[in-house]
């Protein structure tokens, strides 16, 4: 039937698009908390940047008293910090919205989790001595290209409010799971903004510019905005913090399983606080049982499980619902928005017991 020790069956990324390369992590088939680099989801806005590694410097400029540039060697010599972080694309689970929305049809694997090591962005900003009227920090990547809705070439760049930029866990990262950052994930350095959807974590960082105004680049004023209405942009607001969420990893949707005990298992995460509770329903949400949940750290993942005796030969609709330490709970229905960001309705699968 199954042989879970089969040494030669290996999960793969799921290709959603090649140009730019967007590939989803095989989220249902990962049992360890940390996603191996080879199975980390890939999400790009543009082609991969050409890159001259030999001449790499990162500059901090703008509203600062002392513009400064760091070589990789200098970054490596600064005090480091390691944080285990969920990176989740704001469009994760977009394919589940009804009515359907346009854009990359991510299923449940536009997310990964692992240990990023680097220098706190705060450390670099302090060395540049930022002006007292500073408001935001703009991070620009080496990746650029055309947008179909605008005329010019745009670099991928976004700003962070000063408070988030100075958060001690906001990193200029150079390492993933104890190895150099893979090229496709930002080598040699990327920004890591724990707790925010991953559009904030700019890859292939080119420069850091402190500004005393509000940045209005297209990747935070056109894209990565929640548009609650189909036909107009009213009431739009920016995508920032990761919503509380969970995904059932086993069983798989539409699986056929034997009667008897089965362990339902999965993951849960939140961008603000820690996961406090995961509940599971096997009757389509009529009743809920508490799952055992490990002690997820802030910004990381919790793993949960519940063993249930499936005695009746019939269909079961299984759901999971996570709650975080800020009392945010997954809603029954998602917050529909035109560009399909932040899906976090209770997760749901259906199985047949024979």
Q: Which residues bind its own copies (CB under 8 A)?
A: 1-4, 6, 8-21, 23, 26, 28-29, 46-48, 95, 100-105, 145-149, 184, 252-258, 350-352, 354
CB of 1 to its own copies, least distance (A): 4
Q: Based on CB atoms, which residue is closest to its own copies, 57 or 146?
A: 146
Q: Based on CB atoms, which residue is closest to its own copies, 178 or 253?
A: 253
Phi, psi of 130 (to 5 degrees): -70, 150
Q: And the tokens for 192? A: 């890591």
CA distance 11 to 34: 15
CB of 145 to its own copies, least distance (A): 6
CA distance 354 to 351: 10
CA distance 299 to 87: 9
CA distance 302 to 69: 38
Q: What is the DSSP letter of 190?
A: E
CB of 32 to its own copies, least distance (A): 14
Count Cβ atoms within 10 A of the Cβ of residue 185 and give its class: 0-12 exposed, 13-18 middle, 19 or more buried.
buried
Q: Based on CB atoms, which residue is closest to its own copies, 253 or 294?
A: 253
How far is C-alpha 21 from the chain's CA centre?
16
The kind and range of the H/E element at 102 are none
Q: Based on CB atoms, which residue is closest to its own copies, 278 or 282?
A: 282
Share in percent of the chain as helix, strand, coil (round to 5): 10, 40, 50
CA distance 327 to 122: 30
CB of 20 to its own copies, least distance (A): 7
Residue among 26, 22, 48 nearest 36 (CA): 26
DSSP bridge partners of 257: 353
Q: Based on CB atoms, which residue is closest to its own copies, 25 or 201?
A: 25
CB of 29 to its own copies, least distance (A): 5
Q: Based on CB atoms, which residue is closest to its own copies, 19 or 73?
A: 19
Give yes or no for a contact between 91 and 102, defined as CB atoms under 8 angstroms apart.
no
CB of 243 to its own copies, least distance (A): 22
Give yes or no for a contact between 135 and 212, defined as CB atoms under 8 angstroms apart.
yes
CB of 12 to its own copies, least distance (A): 4
CA distance 244 to 8: 35
Q: Based on CB atoms, which residue is closest to its own copies, 79 or 99?
A: 99
Q: Based on CB atoms, which residue is closest to its own copies, 2 or 132?
A: 2
């Amino acid at each position: 039937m199954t042989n879970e020790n089969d040494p030669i069956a290996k999960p793969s990324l799921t290709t959603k698009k090649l140009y730019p390369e967007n590939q989803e992590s095989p989220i249902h088939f990962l049992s360890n908390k940390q996603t191996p680099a080879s199975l980390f989801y890939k999400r790009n806005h543009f082609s991969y940047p050409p890159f001259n590694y030999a001449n790499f410097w990162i500059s901090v400029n703008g509203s600062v008293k002392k513009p400064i540039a760091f070589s990789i060697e200098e970054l490596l010599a600064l005090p480091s910090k390691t944080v285990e972080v969920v990176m989740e694309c704001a469009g994760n689970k977009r394919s589940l919205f009804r009515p359907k929305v346009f854009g990359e049809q991510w299923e449940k694997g536009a997310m990964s989790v692992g240990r990023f090591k680097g220098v706190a962005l705060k450390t670099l900003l302090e060395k540049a001595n930022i002006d007292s009227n500073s408001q935001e920090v703009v991070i620009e990547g080496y990746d650029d290209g055309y947008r179909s809705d605008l005329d010019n070439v745009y670099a991928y760049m976004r700003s962070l409010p000063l408070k988030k930029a100075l958060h001690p866990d906001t990193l200029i990262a150079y390492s993933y799971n104890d190895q150099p950052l893979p090229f496709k994930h930002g080598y040699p350095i990327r920004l890591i903004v724990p707790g925010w959807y991953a559009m904030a974590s700019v890859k292939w960082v080119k420069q850091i510019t402190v500004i005393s105004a509000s940045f209005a680049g297209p990747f935070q004023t056109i894209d990565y905005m929640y548009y609650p209405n189909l036909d107009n942009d009213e009431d739009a607001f920016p995508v920032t913090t990761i919503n509380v969420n969970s995904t059932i990893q086993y069983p798989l949707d539409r699986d056929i399983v034997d009667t008897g005990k089965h362990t339902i298992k999965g993951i849960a995460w939140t961008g603000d606080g820690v996961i406090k509770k995961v509940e599971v329903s096997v009757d389509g949400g009529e009743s809920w049982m508490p799952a055992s949940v490990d002690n997820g750290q802030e910004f990381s993942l919790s793993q949960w499980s519940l063993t249930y005796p499936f005695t009746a030969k019939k269909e079961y609709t299984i759901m999971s619902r996570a709650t975080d330490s800020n009392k945010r709970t997954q809603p029954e229905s998602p917050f529909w928005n035109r560009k399909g960001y932040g899906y976090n309705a209770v997760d749901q699968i259906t199985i047949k017991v024979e």
